[in-house]
Structure 1
Amino acid sequence: MDSYRCGLCGYVYNPRAGEPGQGIEARTEFGDLPDTWACSRCGAEKNLFRKA
């Protein structure tokens, strides 16, 4: 399970933890996030994330 870092603010999406506050369950791979998903810290679009 790979983590991905936001290119704007540096937030790291950790698939092992998911994002319960956004309804994303633990162990959800980055590629399985909906295309409309955005950084929970700064709102950056998913396409601005890169493998950490």
Structure 2
Amino acid sequence: MAKYKCKICGYIFDEDNIEEGLNIPAGIKFEDLPSSFKCPKCKMSKAMFEKI
């Protein structure tokens, strides 16, 4: 699975290792996250992430 990096703060969203406390089901793909998803570190929108 893939990893996505916030272009603002550098936070890494790893589809294989979703952090506890994000209330996101294990195994979800980044593109399947709701459009309301925000970076847990800097609160920027999902659009600010790039695949790495």
Is the structural similarity TM-score above 0.5? yes
- Count of equivalent residues: 52
Q: Report if aligned partners of 1:9, 1:41 keep a CA contact under 8 Å in 2.
A: yes
> CA–CA distance in 2 between the matches of 1:26 and 1:5?
18
Displacement over 6 Å in runs of 4+: none
Deviates more, 1:40-49 or 1:22-31: 22-31
Letter in 2 for 1:20: E
Letter paired with 2:37: W
**Taking structure 1 as the reference length, what is the TM-score of the superposition?**
0.89
- Which residue of structure 2 aligns with residue 2 of structure 1? 2
Distance between the aligned counterparts of 2:32 and 2:19, measured in 1?
A: 13
Identity %: 37
Cα RMSD (Å): 1.0
Query: Structure 1 stretches of 5 or more lacking a match?
Result: none
Q: Secondary structure at the match of 1:20?
A: coil
Q: Flag structure 2 segments of 5+ consecutive residues without an equivalent.
A: none
TM-score by length of 2: 0.89
Do residues 31 (structure 1) and 31 (structure 2) align?
A: yes
Q: Counting helix residues as a fraction of each chain, which structure ranks higher?
A: 1
